[in-house]
């Protein structure tokens, strides 16, 4: 299960992202994400280039659920060379924008709304959407499981996993504990994102600093998560 470190807090890309990447270069991060809000396009391009120079895969996650904003983010992703675009619901138009760019697309299943985004919908809704994504040629789905307002998060994860088949399942949003990581791994999730919880020092009790929080997540993933002492 891949850990995607998001250079984001409260669903916005942080302004000091380049400095943070410089300070974290020795941690072996292989998946690094941004949001399409918080900094301008030039800054997003600079961050994307820095991520590539680190040998990591870059992600851009769409915050807005409006069609115009989603398509603007898709055009940004295509222009700055992001490896993977996450979120949004305008699947057909987004795939057309990304065609022949090499950028993979992982839309939101269910019914996302608001900012920070909540997720409405049932397991059946998520499964239907995920199956449709794969039929259209998406690489997988970006599921806001722990933002769910109408269903159990893990029920949504299991529904998405089954419907995606060999598609890549990413779970994003409100992940802040080792117990959640263990649950996601057991449910067959391929990758997860963490941003705000790292900046809020949620993963390494009694320790502060982004590096210590990232190390706590990496250690949990390398071990048998269920047996990690102090899992919360």
**φ, ψ of residue 214 in degrees (nearest 5):** -65, -45
Q: Which residues pair with 111 in a beta bridge?
A: 120
- Model pLDDT for residues 66-93, shown as the tens digit of each residue: 899 899 999 999 999 999 999 999 999 9
* Pair type for strands 12-13 and 8-9: antiparallel
Q: With a threshold of 0.75, does the pTM exceed it?
A: yes
What is the C-alpha to C-alpha distance for residues 141 and 77, in angstroms, rounded to an integer? 17
Over residues 93-117, the mean pLDDT reads 94
- Model pLDDT for residues 173-195, shown as the tens digit of each residue: 999 999 999 999 999 999 999 99
What is the C-alpha to C-alpha distance for residues 189 and 124, in angstroms, rounded to an integer? 18
The better pLDDT of the pair 208, 217 is held by 217
Q: Are 207 and 181 in contact (CB under 8 A)?
A: no
What is the C-alpha to C-alpha distance for residues 55 and 138, in angstroms, rounded to an integer? 24
Whole-number pLDDT of residue 227: 44
Q: How would residue 224 be classed by pLDDT, with cut points 50, 70 and 90? A: low
Q: Domain 2-221 belongs to what topology?
A: TIM Barrel (3.20.20)
Furthest CA-CA distance within the chain = 47
* 3-state SS class at 220: helix
Q: What is the DSSP string of 23-45?
A: HTGGG---EEEEESSSS-HHHHH
- Model pLDDT for residues 23-40, shown as the tens digit of each residue: 999 999 999 999 999 999
What is the C-alpha to C-alpha distance for residues 84 and 197, in angstroms, rounded to an integer? 22
What is the C-alpha to C-alpha distance for residues 178 and 80, in angstroms, rounded to an integer? 33
What is the C-alpha to C-alpha distance for residues 74 and 205, in angstroms, rounded to an integer? 38
- Model pLDDT for residues 139-169, shown as the tens digit of each residue: 999 999 999 999 999 999 999 999 999 999 9
- Model pLDDT for residues 4-20, shown as the tens digit of each residue: 999 999 889 999 999 99
Output the six-digit token pair for 108: 């939101």
Over residues 45-68, the mean pLDDT reads 94
């Amino acid at each position: 299960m891949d850990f995607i470190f998001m250079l984001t807090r409260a669903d916005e890309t942080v302004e000091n992202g380049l400095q943070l990447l410089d300070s974290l270069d020795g941690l072996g991060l292989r998946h690094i994400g941004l949001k399409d809000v918080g900094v301008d396009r030039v800054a997003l391009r600079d961050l994307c280039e820095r991520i590539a120079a680190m040998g990591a895969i870059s992600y851009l996650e769409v915050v807005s659920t409006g069609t115009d904003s989603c398509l603007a983010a898709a055009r940004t992703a295509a222009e700055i060379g992001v490896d993977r675009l996450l979120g949004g619901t305008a699947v057909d138009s987004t795939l057309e924008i990304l065609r022949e760019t090499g950028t993979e697309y992982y839309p939101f299943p269910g019914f996302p709304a608001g900012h920070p985004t909540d997720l409405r919908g049932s397991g059946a809704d998520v499964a239907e959407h995920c199956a449709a994504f794969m039929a259209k040629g998406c690489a997988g789905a970006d599921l806001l499981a722990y933002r769910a307002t109408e269903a159990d998060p893990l029920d949504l994860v299991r529904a998405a996993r089954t419907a995606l088949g060999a598609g890549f399942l990413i779970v994003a949003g409100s992940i802040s504990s080792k117990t959640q990581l263990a649950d996601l791994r057991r449910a067959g999730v391929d990758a997860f994102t963490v941003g705000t919880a790292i900046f809020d020092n949620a993963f390494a009790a009694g320790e502060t600093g982004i590096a210590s929080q990232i190390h706590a997540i990496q250690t949990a993933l390398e071990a048998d998560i269920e047996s990690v002492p102090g899992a919360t």
